[in-house]
Structure 1
Amino acid sequence: MSNSKVKIGQLWPKNKTDLMKQLGELKTELGQLRTQKIAGGAASKLTKIHDVRKSIAKVLTVINANQRTQLRIFYKHKKYLPLDLRPKQTRAIRRRLSKGDKARKLPKITKREVHFPQRKFVIKVRSFNRAHQIIIYSTRKTIT
């Protein structure tokens, strides 16, 4: 039987076989603790059930996380990605155009922008106390 709680930091460097072995040990320990509970064991054994259950959860979490990272590496350059590995977003966000598609322009529009750039207009404003001020407005757009 293991002595106390499992620390997650100790689990990450382990490989899958070691993790599965530790998981099996924890499950057998949990089974023994449950039989002792039925038989009327000591209170200290009953409180240990909680720690063993949490340790099992930690080991399973590390196993599943490692498995997901391996799957992400495998599917990185594939055409399709499994649904559970795709980003979790709202349906509307998933249906949106990608940044590349949003930025695309027709050849006609690119030619128009090249040949007719945005005009800058200069307006003279006379103030009461000072000399002439020059303000440039580049927000107005006209195409001739």
Structure 2
Amino acid sequence: MSHHMKIKDLREKSKDDLLKKLTEYKKELSQLRVVQQTGGAEARLGRIRPIRKSIARILTVLNQNERRNLKKFYSDGKMRSKMPKVLRTKLTHRRRLALKDNEKNRKTLHQLRQAHKYPKRVYAVRI
């Protein structure tokens, strides 16, 4: 049985197939662990690492699919504000702490009074 499956092939499979494959690999891994403890054949022990890697690949694909589906669920208008932080797009520290547009455009009371007191002059130019 080939233990190395490509991620591309795993992404095409359904969730049920992936879970079935995962249980198979976990069962085989536990059998190999028993063989390892009893001091079994060295040839079989070399298969532990590839099986562990395959389990990791399957779990990675399952987690990516789950995250993609959750992002899709939260992306519509009503749920957008309730999206968990772990699903939001990552920003740099600078972008996270940057002022929002409404914060940038806020004016102090003094600035508002001055703007009202001295409005911007508009000149009409004849051609």
Q: TM-score, normalised by structure 1?
A: 0.65
Tell me the amino acid that sits aligned with residue 65 of structure 2. N
Amino acid at match of 1:44: A
- 1:4 corresponds to which residue? 3
Q: Please identify which structure carries the higher helix content.
A: 2
Distance 2:12 2:102 in 1: 42
- Pairing 1:91-106 to 2, within 5 Å after superposition: 91-98=93-100, 100-101=101-102
* Partner SS state of residue 86, structure 2: helix
1:80 aligned to 79, 82, 105, which one? 82
Residues 53-72 of structure 1 correspond to what in structure 2 (within 5 A)?
53-72=52-71
After superposition, the CA RMSD in angstroms is: 2.7
Q: Does 1:115 align with 2:119?
A: no
Amino acid of the structure 1 residue aligned with 2:4: K
d(CA) in 2 for partners of 1:48, 1:83: 39
| Structure 2 Cα separation of the partners of residues 39 and 45 of structure 1 | 12
Report the residue type matching 2:55 in the other structure. Answer: I
Cα deviation, residue 94, structure 1:
1.8
Shift of 1:80: 2.3
The Cα shift of 1:67 comes to: 0.2
Deviates more, 1:61-70 or 1:75-84: 75-84
Q: Which has the higher strand share?
A: 1
Amino acid of the residue matched to residue 55 of structure 1?
A: S
Which residue is 1:22 aligned to?
Answer: 21
Give the gaps of 5 or more residues in structure 1.
Answer: 117-144
| Structure 1 letter corresponding to 2:90 | K
Quote the residue 2:112 is aligned against: none
Identity over aligned residues, as a percent? 38
Structure 2 spans left out of the alignment, 5+ residues: 108-114
How far apart are 1:42 and its partner, in Å?
Answer: 1.6
Give the Å deviation of 1:30. Answer: 0.2
Point out which structure has higher relative CO (alpha carbons under 8 A, 6+ apart).
2
For normalisation by structure 2, the TM-score amounts to 0.73
Counterpart secondary structure, 2:82: coil
